[in-house]
Amino acid sequence: MTAPASTDLIARLEALEGRVRELEDVREINDVFRRWHRACTGGFNGIPTHRTLEGIDLLTDDATIEVQGLHQPGEGPTGREALLAYFKPYHGTEGLLPRVFQTGVDYGVTVTGDTAVQESNLIILTGYNNGNAAFSMSRYSNTYRRTPEGWRITRIGLEQGYTVPLDSLQTAAEYFASMPQ
């Protein structure tokens, strides 16, 4: 009589352990991409945009990025060195995108062993070095791999959605400084 109860308890504990591991994996994967967004965001309060060195360790050595409209499928920059070179022109106050605020929402993660796919929506404000600005919404489809250092991004896939041109993009400090006192 005790054998079936203990077998049932072991099975339930193993199932619970698997569910907890999946929750931990999903949380870590979402945290990796939150940190990626944070490394790209800047242009206000003395924070430069595209702080690639903060984000590069979130990628595998063979990681790639594919942005619809910029790269043909399978032809985006691949590998850390290529990605560092790709993002360098965007960096800082003199870069192509001196003002960026981006975040992801509506995360969905499917973990299969040591790989995962994460789907999310991107909301981004961009201020270009020529003075133009835009509000955009797009979709991400990213892949991840479990490494000895934890989950890392193997592919960033960005599907362009909508872009609304803006007259300007001011920091909060600039906006409030222009208000009547």
Residue 66 has pLDDT above 90, yes or no: yes
pLDDT score recorded for residue 6 = 85
Counted domains in the chain = 1
Q: How does DSSP assign the chain, residue by residue?
A: -HHHHHHHHHHHHHHHHHHHHHHHHHHHHHHHHHHHHHHH-BSBTTBPS--HHHHGGGEEEEEEEEETTTS-TT-S-BSHHHHHHHHGGG-STTSS-SEEEEEEEEEEEEEETTEEEEEEEEEEEEE-TTS-EEEEEEEEEEEEEEETTEEEEEEEEEEEEEEEEES----HHHHHHTS--
135-155 pLDDT per residue, tens: 999 999 999 999 999 999 999
Residue 1 has pLDDT above 60, yes or no: no
74-107 pLDDT per residue, tens: 999 999 999 999 999 988 888 999 999 999 999 9
CATH of the domain at 29: 3.10.450.50
Residue 168 has pLDDT above 90, yes or no: no
pLDDT score recorded for residue 3 = 57
- For 97, phi then psi, to 5°, come to -125, 80
Q: What is the mean pLDDT of residues 162-180?
A: 91
Please tell me the distance from the alpha carbon of residue 103 to that of residue 19, in angstroms, as a whole number. Answer: 27
Burial of residue 142 (CB within 10 Å: 0-12, 13-18, 19+) is: buried
The residues, any chain, with a CB within 8 Å of residue 23's CB and separated by 6 or more, are none
Please tell me the distance from the alpha carbon of residue 3 to that of residue 170, in angstroms, as a whole number. Answer: 69
Range(s) of the domain holding residue 129: 2-177
Note whether 66 and 159 are within 8 A (CB).
no
Q: Tell me the HSE value of 58 on the side-chain side, using a 13 A CA sphere.
A: 24
Residue 122 has pLDDT above 60, yes or no: yes
Residue 163 has pLDDT above 80, yes or no: yes
2-61 pLDDT per residue, tens: 557 788 999 999 999 999 999 999 999 999 999 999 999 999 888 998 888 899 999 999
pLDDT score recorded for residue 46 = 87
